[in-house]
Amino acid sequence: MIRNSIFFAPKKDKNRSLALAAVLLLAFCSFSTCSKTKESVSLSLLNASLEEARNQGQRLVVLFGADWCPDCRAFEQMLNDRKVSELTKAKFLFLKIDVGQFDKNLELNAYLGNPIAKGIPAVVILDPFSSGKILVSTEGGEFSEASKMKPEQILSFFQKYSNF
Protein backbone atom coordinates (compact mmCIF):
# COMPACT_ATOMS: atom_id res chain seq x y z
CA MET A 1 0.00 0.00 0.00
CA ILE A 2 1.26 3.47 -0.79
CA ARG A 3 0.35 6.47 1.31
CA ASN A 4 0.95 10.05 0.31
CA SER A 5 1.54 12.89 2.74
CA ILE A 6 -1.19 14.98 1.10
CA PHE A 7 -3.43 12.54 -0.77
CA PHE A 8 -3.79 8.89 0.06
CA ALA A 9 -6.39 6.17 0.15
CA PRO A 10 -5.69 3.93 3.14
CA LYS A 11 -7.18 0.46 3.49
CA LYS A 12 -10.41 0.31 5.39
CA ASP A 13 -9.01 -0.46 8.80
CA LYS A 14 -8.90 0.90 12.29
CA ASN A 15 -6.27 3.50 11.34
CA ARG A 16 -8.34 5.10 8.58
CA SER A 17 -9.87 7.78 10.78
CA LEU A 18 -6.53 8.65 12.37
CA ALA A 19 -4.80 8.81 9.00
CA LEU A 20 -7.54 10.94 7.44
CA ALA A 21 -7.46 13.34 10.39
CA ALA A 22 -3.68 13.65 10.10
CA VAL A 23 -3.90 14.41 6.37
CA LEU A 24 -6.64 16.99 6.84
CA LEU A 25 -4.68 18.67 9.61
CA LEU A 26 -1.54 18.64 7.46
CA ALA A 27 -3.44 20.21 4.56
CA PHE A 28 -4.90 22.84 6.91
CA CYS A 29 -1.49 23.65 8.36
CA SER A 30 0.12 23.98 4.96
CA PHE A 31 -2.15 26.98 4.33
CA SER A 32 -1.49 28.58 7.71
CA THR A 33 1.45 29.47 9.88
CA CYS A 34 1.18 26.67 12.43
CA SER A 35 4.67 25.21 12.02
CA LYS A 36 4.70 23.47 15.40
CA THR A 37 1.41 21.75 14.61
CA LYS A 38 2.65 20.93 11.11
CA GLU A 39 5.73 19.25 12.60
CA SER A 40 3.68 17.18 14.99
CA VAL A 41 1.33 16.16 12.15
CA SER A 42 4.25 14.89 10.06
CA LEU A 43 5.50 12.88 13.02
CA SER A 44 1.95 11.72 13.80
CA LEU A 45 1.57 10.53 10.21
CA LEU A 46 4.91 8.73 10.46
CA ASN A 47 3.89 7.10 13.75
CA ALA A 48 0.49 6.06 12.35
CA SER A 49 2.23 4.58 9.31
CA LEU A 50 4.68 2.69 11.53
CA GLU A 51 1.76 1.26 13.49
CA GLU A 52 -0.04 0.26 10.31
CA ALA A 53 3.12 -1.39 8.93
CA ARG A 54 3.57 -3.29 12.20
CA ASN A 55 -0.07 -4.45 12.08
CA GLN A 56 0.39 -5.64 8.49
CA GLY A 57 3.73 -7.34 9.19
CA GLN A 58 5.60 -5.02 6.83
CA ARG A 59 8.47 -2.58 6.94
CA LEU A 60 7.82 1.11 6.35
CA VAL A 61 9.36 2.88 3.37
CA VAL A 62 9.35 6.67 3.57
CA LEU A 63 9.75 7.85 -0.02
CA PHE A 64 10.71 11.51 -0.43
CA GLY A 65 10.09 13.00 -3.86
CA ALA A 66 8.30 15.61 -5.94
CA ASP A 67 6.03 15.56 -8.97
CA TRP A 68 8.36 17.86 -10.96
CA CYS A 69 11.30 15.44 -10.54
CA PRO A 70 11.94 13.16 -13.55
CA ASP A 71 13.99 10.75 -11.44
CA CYS A 72 11.14 10.50 -8.92
CA ARG A 73 8.72 9.67 -11.72
CA ALA A 74 11.15 7.08 -13.11
CA PHE A 75 11.55 5.53 -9.64
CA GLU A 76 7.77 5.34 -9.20
CA GLN A 77 7.44 3.74 -12.63
CA MET A 78 9.99 1.09 -11.66
CA LEU A 79 8.03 0.41 -8.47
CA ASN A 80 5.22 -0.69 -10.80
CA ASP A 81 7.46 -3.21 -12.56
CA ARG A 82 5.93 -6.67 -12.02
CA LYS A 83 8.81 -8.18 -10.02
CA VAL A 84 9.45 -5.03 -7.99
CA SER A 85 5.75 -4.60 -7.29
CA GLU A 86 5.30 -8.20 -6.13
CA LEU A 87 8.05 -7.78 -3.56
CA THR A 88 7.22 -4.28 -2.37
CA LYS A 89 3.49 -4.91 -1.99
CA ALA A 90 4.14 -8.01 0.09
CA LYS A 91 6.92 -6.68 2.31
CA PHE A 92 6.62 -2.88 2.53
CA LEU A 93 4.16 -0.11 3.31
CA PHE A 94 5.03 3.12 1.50
CA LEU A 95 4.58 6.62 2.89
CA LYS A 96 5.14 9.12 0.09
CA ILE A 97 6.37 12.54 1.18
CA ASP A 98 6.26 15.52 -1.18
CA VAL A 99 9.27 17.79 -0.70
CA GLY A 100 7.98 20.41 -3.15
CA GLN A 101 10.91 22.56 -4.27
CA PHE A 102 12.84 21.32 -1.21
CA ASP A 103 10.58 23.53 0.89
CA LYS A 104 7.92 21.07 2.14
CA ASN A 105 7.96 18.45 4.88
CA LEU A 106 11.48 19.43 5.88
CA GLU A 107 10.83 18.67 9.55
CA LEU A 108 10.19 15.00 8.74
CA ASN A 109 13.26 14.99 6.51
CA ALA A 110 15.35 16.39 9.39
CA TYR A 111 13.84 13.91 11.85
CA LEU A 112 14.94 11.05 9.57
CA GLY A 113 18.49 12.37 9.17
CA ASN A 114 18.18 14.56 6.03
CA PRO A 115 18.00 11.81 3.38
CA ILE A 116 17.23 14.38 0.64
CA ALA A 117 20.54 16.25 1.07
CA LYS A 118 22.05 14.75 -2.09
CA GLY A 119 18.91 14.46 -4.18
CA ILE A 120 15.54 12.85 -4.65
CA PRO A 121 13.99 10.39 -4.75
CA ALA A 122 15.23 9.42 -1.33
CA VAL A 123 14.22 6.30 0.58
CA VAL A 124 14.27 5.58 4.30
CA ILE A 125 13.29 2.08 5.41
CA LEU A 126 12.13 1.76 9.00
CA ASP A 127 11.59 -1.34 11.10
CA PRO A 128 8.24 -0.93 12.89
CA PHE A 129 9.10 -3.88 15.14
CA SER A 130 12.15 -2.04 16.56
CA SER A 131 10.51 1.26 17.51
CA GLY A 132 10.97 2.65 14.01
CA LYS A 133 14.71 1.98 13.81
CA ILE A 134 16.18 3.21 10.52
CA LEU A 135 17.44 0.20 8.58
CA VAL A 136 18.73 2.17 5.61
CA SER A 137 18.64 5.70 4.26
CA THR A 138 19.67 6.75 0.78
CA GLU A 139 21.25 9.93 2.09
CA GLY A 140 24.06 9.56 -0.44
CA GLY A 141 21.71 10.25 -3.36
CA GLU A 142 21.65 6.61 -4.46
CA PHE A 143 18.42 7.07 -6.44
CA SER A 144 18.93 10.68 -7.55
CA GLU A 145 19.62 9.38 -11.07
CA ALA A 146 16.85 6.78 -11.06
CA SER A 147 15.98 7.59 -14.66
CA LYS A 148 19.27 5.90 -15.63
CA MET A 149 18.56 2.80 -13.54
CA LYS A 150 16.87 -0.48 -14.34
CA PRO A 151 14.06 -2.12 -12.34
CA GLU A 152 16.46 -4.93 -11.37
CA GLN A 153 18.55 -2.41 -9.41
CA ILE A 154 15.50 -1.21 -7.49
CA LEU A 155 14.46 -4.82 -6.87
CA SER A 156 17.93 -5.68 -5.56
CA PHE A 157 17.83 -2.75 -3.15
CA PHE A 158 14.47 -3.75 -1.69
CA GLN A 159 15.40 -7.45 -1.54
CA LYS A 160 18.22 -6.59 0.89
CA TYR A 161 15.70 -5.21 3.39
CA SER A 162 12.73 -7.50 2.80
CA ASN A 163 13.62 -10.25 5.27
CA PHE A 164 12.84 -9.85 8.94
From the number of C-beta atoms within 10 Å of its C-beta (0-12, 13-18, 19+), residue 58 rates as buried
pLDDT of residue 111: 96
pLDDT of residue 34: 41
Mean pLDDT of 48-73: 97
* pLDDT above 90 for 51: yes
From the options 3.40.30.10, 3.30.1330.60, 3.30.70.890, 3.90.1150.10, give the CATH code of 2-160. Answer: 3.40.30.10
Tens of pLDDT, residues 123-135 = 999 999 999 999 9
pLDDT of residue 67: 95
Range of lowest pLDDT (4-13, 123-132, 141-150): 4-13
Percent of the chain with pLDDT over 70: 75
pLDDT of residue 56: 97
Mean pLDDT of 89-115: 96
pLDDT of residue 127: 97
pTM listed for this prediction: 0.78
Task: Give dist(CA 53, CA 126) in Å, integer.
Answer: 10
Domains of the chain, residue spans: 2-160
